[in-house]
A and B are shown apart, each in its own frame.
Chain A
Amino acid sequence: MLKIYYGRDAKQVVIPVHFANNYEGSWLLDPLSKRMISEIDNSEVVSENLIISKVLGPIPPERLSGGVQGLILMSFDDIKDKYRWNGSQFGNNTLKFMLEIASLRDYDIRVSTMHYFDFPKDFVQDICIENDNTIVHDYKSFVDYYINHGIHIINTWDKEHPEFFNK
């Protein structure tokens, strides 16, 4: 299941750093990875260590966008559901893949975010809002929760968690 936490998480994974230090070349050869790299980064996977970007030319995996790196890590990395991924990395064009990965994996995908995720409007899938373990089922219920609770949580989170910044 996809689990979203509105707020910050001191232990959330810094995606580009984690990707650069942990990715396996074989992950890029997976059909889902290839599709994500093609659709989001407009690039083609040639081999484990080489991607051809239509804009940048040949690039190493480290130069994939943060959103694509995050999706690949969600799919394959050992972290699984131990920590939350930093939701700031994910643009709206990554979210359909986030839902797909959550439906395919046998572990929860956990994300913390301080911004609104504009999921595809036709999505029908359970998402757990970890702030209070509410389960939303589709776009309408997701938006309803965001309007009625999520906006307030995000707006007040920093003030209500001063201890977070005193580390």
Chain B
Amino acid sequence: MREEIMVGIKQFSISNNKVSYDIKVKRKISLIGGDSGTGKTTLYNLVRDYETSKLSIKLSGYTNVKSLCGSSYDIIRDIQRLKEHILIIDDDKLSGTDINKIDEAIRNSDNWFILITRDENQAFGVEYDSIYEMKSDITGKNHWLEPMITL
């Protein structure tokens, strides 16, 4: 079971000429699930592209954001190496064994995490208000997170 300590809200906005995201998270681990085709992987790609070309993407707010990719070994190494980041992991890119191998590194890390996953085991220990789905406005271009569960 993960310990979730609320240490404040971290917020970032990222955009290119086609889409924008205003992301606000309030706990160490947040999950994004929900329907297909809502822009979850586009967010992941946008953050990854910012790493490659900071002039091409607009990022504001909490700017220590990084999308992790590669093998589980690569991801664990990055989790251990990086400090004070929001790290985005998309299990779309991982094999069946990987997400669980990464779990221990996540628990032992001081970074914050956004996990793009529908895996219910990853939801253990995550507060209900940190399980999100991606929402967008009527144009489909502007995105934000909304909790999937509201009490």
Residues of A within 8 A of B (CB): 8-10, 12, 14-17, 40-42, 54-57, 65-68, 86-94, 112, 114-116, 154-155, 157-158, 164-165, 167
| Chain A residues whose C-beta falls within 8 Å of the C-beta of B97 in the assembled complex | 8, 10, 164-165, 167
B117 at interface (Cβ–Cβ under 8 A)? Answer: yes
A4 to chain B, nearest CB (A): 14
CB-nearest residue of chain B to A151:
B120
Asked if B141 and A10 sit within 8 Å, CB to CB, the answer is no
Asked if B120 and A115 sit within 8 Å, CB to CB, the answer is yes
C-alpha gap A17/B94 in the complex (Å): 10
Asked if B36 and A154 sit within 8 Å, CB to CB, the answer is no
Sorting the interface of chain B by its residue count into under 10, 10 to 19, 20 to 34 or 35 or more gives 20 to 34
B18 at interface (Cβ–Cβ under 8 A)? Answer: yes
Asked if A67 and B36 sit within 8 Å, CB to CB, the answer is yes
C-alpha gap A90/B38 in the complex (Å): 12
- Return 6 A-B CB contacts under 8 Å, by A number: A14-B94, A14-B95, A15-B92, A91-B34, A154-B120, A167-B97
C-alpha gap A115/B91 in the complex (Å): 13
Asked if A115 and B37 sit within 8 Å, CB to CB, the answer is no
Residues of B within 8 A of A (CB): 18-19, 33-39, 41-42, 91-97, 100-101, 117-121, 136, 139-141
Asked if B41 and A65 sit within 8 Å, CB to CB, the answer is yes
B133 to chain A, nearest CB (A): 9
A109 to chain B, nearest CB (A): 16
Looking at A91, A116, A154, A158, which has the most chain B CB atoms within 10 Å of its CB?
A91
Asked if A112 and B37 sit within 8 Å, CB to CB, the answer is no
Among B19, B35, B96, point to the contact of A8 (Cβ < 8 A). B96
Among B34, B100, B140, point to the contact of A158 (Cβ < 8 A). B100
| Chain B residues whose C-beta falls within 8 Å of the C-beta of A112 in the assembled complex | 96
